[in-house]
Amino acid sequence: MIEPEATKSTQWGWWVAVVFVLQVLFFWIGSDNSQQTSSLSPVKLKSVNNSNLLNWLALEDPVALSRPNKHGFSSVWLRSTHMEHQLARWVPPDMPIPGQSNLVRDLIAQVHVENPSFDVQLFVKPPPVISTVTVPPLRMENSSRLTIEGVLGKRALTEPVSLISDWQVESVLFPSRVQVVVDSQGRVLSGVLLESSGHKPADIVALDISLKKIYFEKSPPASDSVETGDLLFHWHVDPSFITNIVEQIP
């Protein structure tokens, strides 16, 4: 059988009223004035001299904490004590000894000794071959000379050419290089100065000799083409006219 909703609400109201009454009784018993007055002890007053009270309440230096002061926190290092230096001896740390770096070396050597393989041939470096180099003796050139470079170096001159020596200039001359074109009969068809010696009269003489006084041997009959080569005139200078031979040597 289900109770009506009005009956349930009436029962809850009585329970709330009972709890409220119990709470009021609990607080009333705990706040009894007689027990509170009996627990308090009488306070005794003591007279104090006004001058002593002011001395007790007087503050120290107000900037004791903002600047170094022997009465503040900085007194620790302002009143430092003498400390004797103690020598410390360095002791190396304990380090384990490393193990063997090559564990298979002895094993490989033992296998090669006990079971040699005839198929493997070690390379043996041959001894060096000592060759003798013949150095031509140095000689001092006392006159001008002519050298031929290129294809014409294989063909000889029909007649020797006389060159002017002992040029009276104040510096050492560079070789005059003249490029010439020679036909199959050995005649010089044309020539041009490629490199100057630094002395114009010597270059003029080199070009004149190349075009008028030089004749080569004839080429073989099967060859009818012209050949090109360079004539180098190495001029000899009178040493008595050179002022500074160290800086002028080519």
Averaged pLDDT score across all residues of the chain: 76
pTM score, whole prediction: 0.43
d(Cα 98, Cα 217) in Å, to the nearest integer?
A: 83
99-154 pLDDT, tens digit per residue, is 666 666 777 777 666 665 555 555 677 888 888 888 777 666 788 889 999 888 88
At 62-104, the pLDDT tens digits run 665 667 777 766 777 777 777 788 888 888 888 777 666 666 6
- Contact call for residues 217 and 158 (beta carbons, < 8 A): yes
Maximum separation of any 2 CA atoms in the chain, in Å: 161
Distance CA(180)–CA(188), nearest Å, equals 7
Residue 214: other Cβ atoms inside 10 A:
22
Write the DSSP symbol of residue 239.
G
Residue 177 has pLDDT above 90, yes or no: yes
The domain ranges of the chain are 145-238
